[in-house]
A and B are shown apart, each in its own frame.
Chain A
Amino acid sequence: MTFTTLTFLLFLALFFPLYWALRNRTAQNLLIVAGSYFFYGWWDWRFCGLMLVSSLLDYFAGLALNHPTAPRQRRAILFTAMAGNISLLGFFKYFNFFAESLQAAAAGLGWKLDLPVLHVVLPVGISFYTFQTMSYTIDVYRGKLRATGRIVEYLAYVSFFPQLVAGPIERATHLLPQFFQARVFRYDLAVDGCRQMLWGFFKKLVIADNLAPLVEMAFSDPAGHRGIELAAGTVCFALQIYCDFSAYSDIACGVARLLGFDLMRNFACPYFSQSMAEFWRRWHISLTTWFKDYVYIPLGGGRGGRWRHARNVLLTFLLSGLWHGASWNFVLWGLLNGLLVLPQTFSSTHRGGRVDESPGGAGWLPKPAVVLRMLLTFALVCVGWVFFRAATLADAGLILRKVLLDHDGLVDVYHATAFVRQGPLAGQSYGLVAVLLLVEWLGRSHAHALAGLARWPWPLRWLAYLALTSAILWWGNSSSSPFIYFQF
């Protein structure tokens, strides 16, 4: 089930009152498990079995780790659980990629390898819930968390429908205890959740889904487009992927808040970052911190000299790229971002803002130097997005070459605007993107863009809600294309 469908709204309209009508915490958790499996099975009921297997693997591994055993045995349990999780991911997501790469490498050496090709559908959200269950077992192994014997609460933690398919990837230390706490309906939290959902719907339906055809046009035929059109297509993709993915997180956090849960923040205005290091602290925070805690730090982090530090950073980004998808484009995208982040991780002077700080300073308007740094960072991020979105490495190379070399002076301005006008929103795109940037800028010091509305007088507040709802009804692309991150 996708958030931006009528089915989901009906599901939520039934689930919400039923959930709060249940006074018993265990009954609420049971309802969450049932609802979450229904939500997930709406795509394909067979996916539910896979999620259950993945969940139970780590549930029993956690229980085994609870018992006092020798370190060697504990390592064996951890290894078995990790191998099971990675095998599941490997089978569904990476088998064909590695088989094809191996075949190509062998062919390069003149050998002929006949490896089978699997015709399996990638289960939606498998990377997200596998990483969540892996973090649970690792945390239990490290002694950060005691494994739970309560299977209902554990299954509710893994399958919690608001964040099941595309995150935020929650840590058991943060989310699991919430299933053991009594939940009390809080009006202010519920209203804030609705505000965050409303902004999420606006970003996904009005911005992301309407930019998608322009992006598709540019990236499906790079040879047939001018450099400036490809540049415009790349900027559109940068906006599309942000509005798509952060919208999912916004809706997930909003729905969770309606049910009395607090999910971690996943995006903190990443495009207002002034360096690549800052960008990666603000983009997909739950994944970045996951890799930091479970890959980068165990590898040694910043210790052991510059070369070792550089190796750890590059390896972490490379794996992060591979997590996104089984293709060399993602590997290169990860590597490129690692290389761009590297100079800043060595620098002791400017390290960029923290996630909880307001990006670009606290003033109404940023200083010119800040704007320049933001634009430069955005341009570098866009270079990475070319690899992320292009169908092949050759296409990515062609796009970058054309963007850099294929210019036509002032006529380019005409071509760029003509290209954008071909989208479903035509000239209105500019106004709507301006609204997006303005609202995000004004709300950048809050947990989400519309959180500040709570302080507005009620008539203005309601006017803003109605304006956003009207925009969604009028401009929203109702074809409900799936969220981009579902494929990961």
Chain B
Amino acid sequence: MKKFLLKSCIFLLFPLLALGWAKHSYRRIYPPEQNYYLAALDKLALVRTQASPRVIFIGGSSVAFGIDSGLIGARLGLHPVNTGLHSGFGLDFFLDTVEPWVRPGDVVVLAPEYEAFTKYFHADPEMFAHFIETDGSLMRTLSWRQIREVLDRGYALHLKKVLRVAIRRNAPSLDLPFGLYSRSGFNANGDFLAHHGQPSSVVPPARKSAWFVFKDETRTVAAIHYLNRFALNCRSKGARVFLAHPPFFDRVFNQSREDIYRLDELLQRTLDVPMLDKPEDSVFPLELFYDTYYHLTAEGKRIHSEALASRLQTALARLP
């Protein structure tokens, strides 16, 4: 037995050393202290500490990039909180973490990307693995199901990414926090500002097929059920909840129009949350996007936020 254990340990040393080296290289390429995902901590702190009544925005990175919560808050006379960060966190993560802190008079605006109703309602476990590894205390914010997902898949996916980045020394996609994507890029309200003044780098898609595909309703129905429960709990606390459509590049929107409308029809039928707009109300030309079809530039953010503030004012005025 001793011989077996000894040899097993020696053997395991090789992959562990390789992963250790990869991790070291990875941390040099992406310093953990400036990790974009760590902004989740600041946003959760803001949810806890910001005085009520507030306007709280929940969604993915399109909310971080595309909403000027200060502008909207000033128009409505509410304290702003922008929890938008990354769709990979899963919409349920922010619903779960925000809900206990919702107070009477708060206005909650859900503005997730379309994929949040399909593949990103629950988190990408790799992102949580990355998240926990950067700051272990974040484990406390996760549910048991999320921790299990991290153990089952998240860490393996994360280690594979670390290995690939260390060997190839490149950033495979935007799911890695780099460049402008930094914790310090947010203002005190949780709005992302670091891209203001930067040239747009987004190009039209080469493919002609639908960008957003809505095939399987099962996940969406489960997501709507979850959202309805969230809205009910918020309302029981004296808060109001609305849904807004995400900003989207017009050509990509047209390519996915049928799928988006089918999703929207299902939402209208089954979601017990008033909608502030129609999908086509949040469609913008390419020059108003920064680096993806969801991330608005500073000018796009201003136009979108002005429109959203007006719709919110109208919707709130209609309520008893």
The chain A residues found within 8 Å of chain B, CB to CB, are 1-2, 5-7, 10, 17, 20, 42, 185, 187, 190-191, 194, 462, 465-466, 469-470, 473-474, 476, 478-480
Interface string of B10-41 (1 = CB under 8 A from A): 01001100110000000000000000000000
CB-CB under 8 A from B160, the residues of chain A are: 473, 476, 478
Assess whether B316 is interfacial by the CB under 8 Å rule: no
Assess whether B148 is interfacial by the CB under 8 Å rule: yes
Instruction: Give the interface SS of chain A, mostly helix, strand, loop or mixed.
Output: helix
CB-CB under 8 A from B3, the residues of chain A are: 187
CB-CB under 8 A from A473, the residues of chain B are: 15, 18-19, 159-160, 163
The 5 closest A-B pairs by CB, nearest first: A478-B156, A5-B152, A7-B151, A478-B160, A478-B157
Least CB separation from B18: chain A residue: A473
Besides A187-B4, A194-B8, A465-B11, 16 new A-B residue pairs in contact (Cβ under 8 A), listed by A number: A6-B152, A7-B151, A10-B151, A17-B5, A42-B148, A187-B1, A191-B4, A466-B14, A469-B14, A469-B15, A470-B18, A473-B18, A476-B160, A478-B156, A480-B152, A480-B156
Q: Would you give 9 A-B contacts (Cβ < 8 Å), ordered by A?
A: A7-B148, A7-B151, A17-B5, A42-B148, A185-B1, A187-B1, A187-B3, A194-B8, A478-B160
Question: Taking A20-B1, A187-B4, A476-B160 as contacts, is the C-beta distance between A5 and B15 under 8 angstroms?
Answer: no
CB-CB under 8 A from B19, the residues of chain A are: 473
Q: How far is the CA of A129 from the CA of B180 in the complex (A)?
A: 54
Q: How far is the CA of A1 from the CA of B153 in the complex (A)?
A: 11
Q: How far is the CA of A392 from the CA of B163 in the complex (A)?
A: 41
How near does chain B come to A157, taking the closest CB pair, in angstroms?
A: 25
CB-CB under 8 A from B18, the residues of chain A are: 470, 473
Q: How far is the CA of A2 from the CA of B14 in the complex (A)?
A: 24
How near does chain B come to A40, taking the closest CB pair, in angstroms?
A: 14
How near does chain B come to A200, taking the closest CB pair, in angstroms?
A: 16
CB-CB under 8 A from B14, the residues of chain A are: 466, 469
Assess whether B284 is interfacial by the CB under 8 Å rule: no
CB-CB under 8 A from B153, the residues of chain A are: 5, 478-480
CB-CB under 8 A from B152, the residues of chain A are: 1-2, 5-7, 480
- The count of residues in chain B whose C-beta lies closer than 8 Å to any C-beta of chain A is 21
Q: How far is the CA of A191 from the CA of B4 in the complex (A)?
A: 8
CB-CB under 8 A from A194, the residues of chain B are: 8
CB under 8 Å from chain A, chain B span 234-268: none
CB-CB under 8 A from B294, the residues of chain A are: none
Q: How far is the CA of A314 from the CA of B1 in the complex (A)?
A: 50
CB-CB under 8 A from B121, the residues of chain A are: none
CB under 8 Å from chain A, chain B span 141-172: 148, 151-153, 155-157, 159-160, 163
CB-CB under 8 A from A187, the residues of chain B are: 1, 3-4
Q: How far is the CA of A194 from the CA of B14 in the complex (A)?
A: 16
Q: How far is the CA of A192 from the CA of B143 in the complex (A)?
A: 39
CB-CB under 8 A from A17, the residues of chain B are: 5
Least CB separation from B150: chain A residue: A6
Q: How far is the CA of A476 from the CA of B152 in the complex (A)?
A: 15
Asked whether A6 lies within 8 Å of B4 as measured between CB atoms, the reply is no
Q: How far is the CA of A476 from the CA of B15 in the complex (A)?
A: 14
How near does chain A come to B118, taking the closest CB pair, in angstroms?
A: 16
Least CB separation from B19: chain A residue: A473
Question: Taking A469-B15, A478-B157, A479-B153 as contacts, is the C-beta distance between A190 and B163 under 8 angstroms?
Answer: no
Most chain B CB within 10 A, of A5, A20, A470, is at: A5
Question: Taking A191-B4, A469-B14, A469-B15 as contacts, is the C-beta distance between A5 and B157 under 8 angstroms?
Answer: no
Q: How far is the CA of A104 from the CA of B147 in the complex (A)?
A: 44
Q: How far is the CA of A476 from the CA of B157 in the complex (A)?
A: 10
Q: How far is the CA of A469 from the CA of B3 in the complex (A)?
A: 21
How near does chain A come to B126, taking the closest CB pair, in angstroms?
A: 8
How near does chain B come to A67, taking the closest CB pair, in angstroms?
A: 43
